[in-house]
Chains A and B, each alone.
Chain A
Amino acid sequence: QVHLVESGGGVVQPGRSLRLSCAASGFNFNNYAMHWVRQAPGKGLEWVTLIWHDGTYKYYADSVKGRFTISKDSSKNTLYLQMNSLRAEDTAVYYCARAFCSSTNCGADYWGQGTLVTVSS
């Protein structure tokens, strides 16, 4: 059974950094690309970033490019999101999601429960 558990959220001041983690189990983490998707309070879903199964390719939304970095540690079955220079508009629930891919085209089939990040002074 696929299980994804995010952690690391909390309240952080603007301009500071935070690292989110997503512990994966129930599938071969080495073989899957992974996403981060966020949802601001009362708003819709916003795709944030995707990492290839082997980490060779990474893609980012323009809103986070240059500030956020996705990575995965297959030895720990863990996905990470390093978030720097945080802004108030980054306040959201952050979900990690397993990717299903057809060639290089990847949607999201299993989602974690999410972790809330609040950027506020």
Chain B
Amino acid sequence: DIQMTQSPSSLSASVGDRVTITCRASQDLGNYLAWYQQKPGKVPNLLIFAASALQLGVPSRFSGSGSGTDFTLTINSLQAEDVATYYCQKYNSAPLTFGGGTKVEIK
């Protein structure tokens, strides 16, 4: 099975900072990679699909890039409401594995 490795596992940044989270797959996914945000005590929310397509209603400060095995989620100008855990997920074939998550906090 394809393994999904997210890094870092946690980070602390200041409001207004640019934040980058990476997700690496052990095999080629094409662009079948999604990013989700899960705020504390809340349900996961789809941010990005097809590696770089922004889901409707998601603020434009979120962006995704990459293809193949290396992917990136970027938050431009971090806001207080972005405190959450972020997960990548491969969806090219079962099992549809999630990464381990990246917890984002405000410094």
User: Which A residues are closer than 8 A to B by beta carbons?
Assistant: 35, 37, 44-47, 50, 59-62, 95, 100, 102, 104-114
User: Which B residues are closer than 8 A to A by beta carbons?
Assistant: 1, 32, 34, 36, 38, 43-46, 49-50, 55, 85, 87, 89, 91-101
- Most chain A beta carbons < 10 A, residue from B36, B95, B99: B95
Starting from the known contacts A95-B43, A105-B91, A107-B89, 7 additional A-B residue pairs (CB-CB under 8 Å) come to A37-B44, A44-B85, A44-B87, A45-B87, A50-B94, A100-B49, A107-B91
Q: Is the CB of A47 within 8 A of B97?
A: yes
Contact pick for A47, options B45, B95, B100, B101, CB 8 Å: B95
| Chain B residues whose CB sits within 8 angstroms of the CB of A114 once the complex forms | 43
Q: Is the CB of A95 within 8 A of B32?
A: no
Q: Is chain B's interface secondary structure helix, strand, loop, or mixed overall?
A: loop
Q: Is chain A's interface secondary structure helix, strand, loop, or mixed overall?
A: strand
Q: Is the CB of B96 within 8 A of A106?
A: yes
| Chain B residues whose CB sits within 8 angstroms of the CB of A100 once the complex forms | 49
Query: Do A47 and B43 form a contact, CB below 8 Å, given A105-B32, A107-B34, A109-B55?
Result: no
Contact pick for B46, options A46, A109, A112, CB 8 Å: A109
Q: Is the CB of B95 within 8 A of A44?
A: no
Q: Is the CB of A62 within 8 A of B87?
A: no
Q: Is the CB of A46 within 8 A of B98?
A: yes
Q: Is the CB of A45 within 8 A of B96?
A: no
| Chain A residues whose CB sits within 8 angstroms of the CB of B95 once the complex forms | 47, 59, 61-62
7 contacts between A and B (CB under 8 A): A45-B98, A50-B94, A59-B96, A62-B95, A106-B96, A107-B32, A109-B55
Q: Is the CB of B101 within 8 A of A105?
A: no
Query: Do A47 and B98 form a contact, CB below 8 Å, given A107-B46, A107-B89, A111-B43?
Result: yes
Q: Is the CB of A102 within 8 A of B50?
A: yes
CA–CA, A39 to B91, complex, Å? 18
